Structure 1
């Protein structure tokens, strides 16, 4: 139980902590102050662009001010409210983050690993079909027979790297990896395809990006175009109730 003198001392220290002091014409506080913010919406996190369209079109939270739809990068889209008058801060009602697709650029992969990655992580087209055919026929000067009955594999090896049939390795190759939201077209990029061998070890495949990151701008343009062309979004965009930023 505190006595009267202790309480008075605590009150005095509290008052002193809240005091300000002016030094060289500038006012300083003796204590660090934290603003009391207005209640804010909890950000909804989704993984699709369609959910962002649905949120805006249905106006789920009854927002009345102008909205800003920000394409942050190829994998993130956020919706911000207008700045609130008192504190000039914004709310972020919804944030869409594309599912992560793991890639292995600039990593040496075994032929089997490369084939699985090329089939699962890229849009399939004539180029992927050509590469799959090429890589599937690779053998070392060591490999005389490659038997595969679906259960076991048997390989006899020598040294070097050749093809069962002499075929050129295409370079550069134009591929479309899954790197942004699947609702939009995946940007095509230039890649360098290299086949390697190391002594008696099995051959490996190396795929290196060769567009300097230009695909990111293309992906962001595709996302912005998706919203602009969506029937549910056109009226809001035309009336400037929704502004798209990149």
Structure 2
């Protein structure tokens, strides 16, 4: 027994295969020699995915585009003989950093609103409030549980009570820049300091909208490949 084991480990003895009761047995452990698969490339845009697929640089086989999330898209092949997929490409969105549910001081929130959000009416209203708020007035903030009121500059030399909009409809940069950024509702709150924070209030519905927009983008850009059955999309 020991001799047989040593011979097998040294490659001097081959495993014996036999069949019994319609099942195949071996007197030694067997290890599957898997087909090699490529290292996955990483890109940062949807256009790179389109260019890669249309170039047929690595393969002309059928490909699947998997829209896993608003920020991650994968391209892979059909399963091989080992039931493994060749992972060709991973597109990961490059996004500005903004922490929801986190209070920023007025200078920080001013910069974040301009650099991390698409311009719209609600964003502009928030910028006016944040930029003109009187620091000493925040301590006497009026709050009915939903809306808030603060004292802010309403003219060149005048101040007055300004109602803080709530909820606010904003479009943060949260997905690939090639598609329209989804608009969703946020709860805008202010604290003494003054400091401001945004809280997501759509239950994550924007993610489904963003993934559908990514799908539509690929359907337009890869129309020929989809019609011929060379590319399939799941989201």
Gaps of 5+ in 2: 142-149, 153-159
- For 1:76-115, what aligned pairs fall within 5 Å after superposition? 76-84=72-80, 86-115=81-110
- For 1:1-246, what aligned pairs fall within 5 Å after superposition? 10-11=6-7, 34-61=31-58, 63-84=59-80, 86-141=81-136, 159-161=139-141, 162-164=150-152, 165-197=160-192, 202-230=193-221, 233-246=222-235
Give per-residue Cα distances to partners, 1:203-222, cap 9 Å, x unaligned. Answer: 11121000000010001001
Q: For the structure 1 residues 29 and 214, does the alpha-carbon distance in structure 2 shift closer, same or farther, using more than 3 Å as the test?
A: farther
Q: What is the rounded CA distance, in whole Å, between the counterparts of 2:110 and 2:30 in structure 1?
A: 59
Preserved CA contact (<8 Å) 1:140 1:203: yes
Preserved CA contact (<8 Å) 1:173 1:190: yes
Tell me the residue number matched to 1:148.
none
What SS is found at the alignment partner of 2:34?
coil
Q: What is the rounded CA distance, in whole Å, between the counterparts of 2:26 and 2:72 in structure 1?
A: 40
Give per-residue Cα distances to partners, 1:150-176, cap 9 Å, x unaligned. Answer: xxxxxxxxx434312212111110000
Preserved CA contact (<8 Å) 1:66 1:242: yes
Q: C-alpha displacement at 1:7, in angstroms?
A: 8.2
Q: C-alpha displacement at 1:103, in angstroms?
A: 1.5
Tell me the residue number matched to 2:147.
none
Q: For the structure 1 residues 211 and 30, does the alpha-carbon distance in structure 2 shift closer, same or farther, using more than 3 Å as the test?
A: farther
Q: C-alpha displacement at 1:14, in angstroms?
A: 6.5
**Number of residues of Structure 1 aligned to a counterpart in Structure 2:** 216
Cα RMSD between the aligned structures? 2.9
Higher strand share: 2
Q: For the structure 1 residues 185 and 160, does the alpha-carbon distance in structure 2 shift closer, same or farther, using more than 3 Å as the test?
A: same
Q: C-alpha displacement at 1:64, in angstroms?
A: 3.0
Q: For the structure 1 residues 169 and 37, does the alpha-carbon distance in structure 2 shift closer, same or farther, using more than 3 Å as the test?
A: same
Preserved CA contact (<8 Å) 2:137 2:151: no
Q: C-alpha displacement at 1:227, in angstroms?
A: 0.7
Q: What is the rounded CA distance, in whole Å, between the counterparts of 1:99 and 1:31 in structure 2?
A: 51
Q: What is the rounded CA distance, in whole Å, between the counterparts of 2:170 and 2:29 in structure 1?
A: 54
Scaled by the length of structure 2, what TM-score is found? 0.81
Scaled by the length of structure 1, what TM-score is found? 0.77
Gaps of 5+ in 1: 1-5, 144-158
Q: For the structure 1 residues 220 and 31, does the alpha-carbon distance in structure 2 shift closer, same or farther, using more than 3 Å as the test?
A: farther
